[in-house]
Structure 1
Amino acid sequence: MKTPNMITKSLLLSAALATSAVLCANAQIKLNSKTVGAATKAVKAVTLSNEDVIEYTKEYIQWMDEHNPVAPADDEFAIRLKNLTANLQNYDGLNLNYKVYLVKDVNAFACADGSVRVCAGLMQAMSDNEVLGVIGHEIGHVKNTDSRDAFKSALMTSALKDGVSSQGGTAAALSDSQLGELGEQVANMSFSRKQESIADDYGYKFLKDNNINPWYMSMAFQRLLDLSGGASEGGFTKKLMSSHPDTQKRVDEMAKKATKDGFEKPTS
């Protein structure tokens, strides 16, 4: 999130890259005015419960939705995504909700509260099944708690550590400026190679579970690689592939897995 009208690169943000972008001019956020020393606040931030992190995630995604161009229900991208995810409101124990951001970024992210956001640029660049492969990958980060953990880390490592605390069992609300700083932290975070590989496998399984040829997992990565000109630079391509020194290897691994499982590569 480099400007108020840009979405984050991920999360989680996948976040909690969320994961993932905007000042909340009309939000009426009640701030906790209790004065606490910075050191004490930092300790409290470290001890945030998972429930607190989820509440902050919900606040963050609400803020994102209010300050990004969300596709209305009658928009072609919104209709397309609704049809794609009609049977995916609940998956693997997660309650999921989906929206399209009408921005050109080839990007997507999922948050620990089950929010999945897909950019119009990604939907323009990919087929339906490739989009679902990316969504499955992002949900994998949520299911594996990568998104939650990354979001918590962003809370603790930004200046928010001086203002985030759990007092009286309730997480303190965040100000607009805090949400902006949090967005910067989220945008600049990435997952480890191991986390990305596990999310790749999850996306593969996600497609299989929904009776879709898992070859589309490989094809989605290839599409991103093609869009980047073979380099892992910029937007979602950077987020999705930056942890891997050889992005082609990632494409090949999913292809090899699909072939081994007896699937033929789709022609389109």
Structure 2
Amino acid sequence: MRVIVTRPPAQAADWVAQLQALGVDAVAVPLIGIAPLDDPSPLQAAWAALPGTALVMFVSANAVAHFFAARPPGATWPAGTRAGSTGPGTSAALRQAGLTPQQIVAPADDAPVFDSEALWALLAHDDWAGRRALVVRGEDGRDWFAETLRARGAEVGFVAAYRRLPPELDGSGRQRVAEARAAPQVHLWLFSSSEAVGHLRRIAPGADWSAARAVASHPRIAQAARDAGFGAVDLLPPSPAALAAWLGNVPSQPLQPLQGAPIQSAPQ
């Protein structure tokens, strides 16, 4: 079975390399584009305001990369500021940016779900009254985490670190989508965002995915894939190793219920 990785280009290339190293046939079809902002001054202002900020929550590895790319010369991460991460990829990006594990708060790598709610569970016991927090994200996104902090008395701001764009598939990308439509039973779609599912629906309008299987990293994403018509959608932690192990348990008939696979099946 060929795995189609739909993450943004940089992350898709990294996932494909890791999967291929694990013996998995994987290709990249990035269904989300990422671009820097035209004006970096809001990010530079956010860096200047970091001292005294209790928490900076990063929604993705892209948020980390673009936030640190805009760091003004001489700026350092304050010792008393924690970095919030919702998953292993974002945590890895924070470590690559120079933060220590002690400065990062994130769900464990084997947590069943990686999202804002899982991160909040680690922070809910703290006293947030009068404390400052910052959410680093794309130009828009969910407000649940910020609203929850505000309800506990925190002062919360947002800063956009990058822009999400519709995908621009090259010839090989379009060919891979066509091959997956023609032979859905031997392709596995890997989705890490609902937005990617939406872009696929626009790229391949009217496609019949009822004989296709998808893997999603969150129940909301799994629901988007089911809404797009995928015949089987399963939940799996966002890890190349977990996906490689899961593939070893996929039966010969892709749409039959899995037996003994180390996954949590998406609710129907």
- Structure 2-normalised TM-score? 0.29
Higher relative contact order structure (alpha carbons within 8 Å, sequence separation ≥ 6):
1
Q: Per residue, is there more strand in 1 or in 2? A: 2
> Which of the pair has more CA radius of gyration?
2
- Structure 1-normalised TM-score? 0.29
